[in-house]
Chain A
Amino acid sequence: MDIGLNALIQNIFNSLSLGSLYALIAVGYTMVYGILRLINFAHGDIFMMGTYFAFYAITIFFLPWYLGFLVAILITGLLGFSIEKIAYRPLRNAPRISSLITAIGMSFFLESFAVVVFGGIPKSFNVYPKFFSDIILIGQSRIPLLTFITIGVTFFLFLILWWILYKTKIGLAMRAISVDIPTTSLMGANVNNVISMTFVLGSTFAAVAGILWAMKYPQVQPYMGFTPGLKAFIAAVIGGIGSIQGAIVGGFLLGFLEIMIVGFFPSLAGYRDVFAYVVLVIILMFRPTGIFKIYSEQKV
């Protein structure tokens, strides 16, 4: 097989894996925005906290890796729950700018907390089983097992998300609440519980993304959530913020563009982090609402 084809296969897998991670994070931004019209700036830092939880669960509490990951994911869900309850809920009826500033403050708080408590020096995330790095040959392309795991786990989580949204009662309320909060409460739904569940769901997805990310670039540090968080946010906006399909499509689109442009134009590699913004500007020029448009609140 020729080198070009191998490189292409390699790039496709890399794109899918990076796109998976962006999509997993983007879903959290978009669900919260869809309900509260709030950009949860702390979401990237929730992602970061998830990786630290996993790191310490395994290194300090000596949990086997799979249990450590599971515990970290659950604790991150609890963190998202608490952030909403403590920081955002009291401001729900305040002007939107207040909650936006609170979200930025929460982001700074989590980063500072990580620096003070976990330390500012990056830690090597070598807490996962070695076979994750095994190479699988596709033709002559060498793809690490972790890439397949990342794509598979993401696919599985999106299936679960779809099941929750379309097959469960709480999912029905989540979809309803995203167009009309007061009317959802008129259905007998406890709006606070539905919003809490949304934060829990988004945060657990961020934790999974964080753990997968930390295995891919095997280290953790307090600011590791910034760039992936920002790009996932851009992915959500490109897809049409508030739309879950949009966040998934946007995440993969960004992953593909980033990998493919660098793959085919290696000289542009230095500008890698700029691509996301360029795509954002271009898409918003033609479709100001992003790719998918959501139902906005009904005006009577």
Chain B
Amino acid sequence: MTAVDPQPETAGRPQPEHLRILRLCAGPVAVAELAARLDLPVSVVVIMLCDLLEAGRITAHPPHPVTRTTPDLDLLQKVREGLGRL
């Protein structure tokens, strides 16, 4: 999820929760992380995100697809190296 910048002027008045989501969405962030930071159930956050999507205030990125049958070796190696640096 990423907030659209600049925000569309036509969009209606957002709820405080919506504004909090938009602030947290300044950079790409996962739905589960949003839910945890807002201390709201994932299902509630999903509903609010749908409202924001409809209003054109955020964009949704599909999670990086990682299929189990053909794991991306480059990606795995990157994760491996990153963890090694921790």
Same complex for A and B? Answer no
B: which residues have CB within 8 A of A? Answer: none
A: which residues have CB within 8 A of B? Answer: none
